[in-house]
Amino acid sequence: MTAAIAAILVVPACGGSSSDANDGGPNVAAAQADVTALCDVICENNLRCDSPDPADGPCKPECLSENPEPSLFRRDVLRGLLECQSQLTCDDNDDLCAGQVVQVLVPDFMSSPLLDKCVEVQDECGGFSDDSCVYAVVFTDAGKARLETCLNEPCELVAGCMAGLRQGT
């Protein structure tokens, strides 16, 4: 089992996600403000829990650059992550939030053909982390279409395409 799938299957450490009408559903895209708020909480947690290495520089620019463009993400997923991250203690692993949010908002994620395809392409071609395969269940349909385009590329182009998802290209 890949790390991405295993991370999703962990027992949730956070409370249940309270999605409201403004969070939308699987095809309501996130906004930059959603990603910024999530990075703010992640960086605050890092500072509070003394986890960043001061030599690594500022957290927020790095956090913002590591995420795919907001329009690819489901808003409800990002807001669920924000809620969970804001409840973490220093003893909690932040990977638990991804598992908790996906289990609540995408309960049938294990039956995703795109997730299966992503894992297969990563196994065959390499060049990107299998953690990126979680995009198959947290992206909107437009985001999933972009991911699928990457997965249909020849092996020598897949890694660059996947990196492009994170860099907004």
DSSP line for 3-23:
HHHHHHHSPP-SPPP---GGG
pTM above 0.75, yes or no: yes
Top pLDDT among 140 and 167 is at 140
Residue 70: exposed, middle, or buried by beta-carbon count in 10 A (0-12, 13-18, 19+)? buried
As a whole number, mean pLDDT of residues 13-34 equals: 68
Torsion from C-alpha of 69, 120, 150, 26, nearest 10 degrees: -40
Predicted confidence at residue 15, as pLDDT, reads 43
Tell me what the pLDDT averaged over the chain comes to: 82
Q: Is the pLDDT of residue 64 over 70?
A: yes
- Domain limits, the chain: 3-10+25-107, 110-167
Predicted confidence at residue 93, as pLDDT, reads 86
Predicted confidence at residue 118, as pLDDT, reads 96
pLDDT digits (tens, 9 = 90+) for 94-138: 888 988 999 999 898 889 999 999 999 999 999 998 888 989 999
Give the list of residues 6+ apart from residue 62 with CB closer than 8 angstroms, or none.
56
